[in-house]
């Protein structure tokens, strides 16, 4: 009996560790090739459903979406409002200028680009649909600051290290038809480190 229980416990631990370390999860947002290699997984029906839900929130709060943040009236979503495309700038997504990265003097060459993620993996490794509702006036953007690999600007005794930061974005729960404010990791800088 004890051997059976031990075997079941070992199996559950293995399954949990495999699920926790999802190999599909990329380093940064917007790097996902899509589930099973598909580049687009958010169907037109889901997009329309999200648009209608965002429009309902905008009408409920009396906010058009083109002025103040649609979700700013709710304290839980206040953190998510700063990544709206109309207000976010590249420096908002940089991390190495702030603690604990101020001690890095050099930065490797960085490729900077903006993106509008439609899905991604949370910091807990859970797959989520990220809210993008352009018709309702709500779009979320992040700026990626990724190392240009192959650069040798750290000198002979260091190497480029990709730093990531956590951003809070509005997601849509399809099962419960509701919004959440969740954390995702995104690339934010590339300091040189000596090893």
- The CATH number of the domain where 163 resides is what? 2.10.90.10
Query: Which residues contact residue 3 at a Cβ distance below 8 angstroms, ignoring those fewer than 6 apart?
Result: none
Query: Which residues contact residue 165 at a Cβ distance below 8 angstroms, ignoring those fewer than 6 apart?
Result: 93, 95, 185, 186, 188
On the question of a cis peptide bond just before residue 100, with omega within 30 degrees of 0, the verdict is: yes
Position 14 in a domain? no
- 6 pLDDT higher than 70: no
Cβ–Cβ under 8 Å, residues 182 and 29 = no
φ, ψ dihedrals at 161, nearest 5° = -125, 125
Position 124 in a domain? yes
pLDDT tens for each residue of 120-142: 889 998 888 999 988 888 889 99
- At residue 194, the pLDDT reads 73
Position 18 in a domain? no
User: How far, CA to CA in Å, does 113 sit from each of 12, 18, 172?
Assistant: 41, 32, 25
How many structural domains comprise the chain? Answer: 1
Cβ–Cβ under 8 Å, residues 145 and 112 = yes
- At residue 44, the pLDDT reads 84
- At residue 156, the pLDDT reads 67
Position 4 in a domain? no
Position 15 in a domain? no
pTM (whole model) above 0.75: no
| Beta pairing class for 127-130 and 142-147 | unpaired
Position 121 in a domain? yes
Average pLDDT of the residues in 151-161: 71
Average pLDDT of the residues in 161-187: 89
Average pLDDT of the residues in 145-168: 79
Position 183 in a domain? yes
- At residue 169, the pLDDT reads 92
- At residue 18, the pLDDT reads 32
pLDDT tens for each residue of 8-61: 343 333 333 333 445 567 888 888 665 555 555 678 888 899 899 888 877 776
Range of the domain at 136: 26-194
| Beta pairing class for 163-173 and 158-160 | unpaired
Strand partners, 130: 171
**Buried (b) or exposed (e) across 38-77, using 16+ Cβ within 10 A?**
eeeeeeeeebeebbebbbebbeebebebeeebbbeeeeeb
pLDDT tens for each residue of 82-118: 788 888 888 777 875 544 455 556 778 888 888 899 8
Position 50 in a domain? yes
């Amino acid at each position: 009996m004890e051997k059976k229980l031990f075997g079941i416990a070992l199996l559950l631990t293995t399954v949990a560790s495999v699920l926790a370390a999802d190999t599909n999860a990329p380093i940064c947002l917007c790097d996902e090739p899509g589930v099973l290699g598909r580049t687009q997984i958010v169907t037109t029906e889901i997009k329309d459903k999200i648009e209608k839900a965002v429009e309902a929130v905008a009408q409920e709060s009396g906010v058009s979406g083109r002025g103040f943040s649609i979700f700013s009236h709710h304290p839980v979503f206040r953190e998510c409002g700063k990544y709206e495309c109309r207000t976010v700038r590249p420096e908002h997504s940089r991390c190495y200028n702030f603690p604990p990265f101020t001690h890095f003097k050099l930065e490797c060459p960085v490729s900077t680009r903006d993106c509008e993620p439609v899905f991604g993996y949370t910091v807990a490794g859970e797959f989520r649909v990220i809210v993008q509702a352009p018709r309702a006036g709500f779009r979320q953007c992040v700026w990626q600051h990724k190392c240009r690999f192959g650069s040798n600007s750290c000198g002979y005794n260091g190497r480029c290290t990709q730093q990531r930061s956590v951003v809070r974005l509005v997601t849509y729960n399809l099962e419960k038809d509701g919004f959440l404010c969740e954390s995702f990791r995104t690339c934010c800088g590339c300091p040189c480190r000596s090893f």
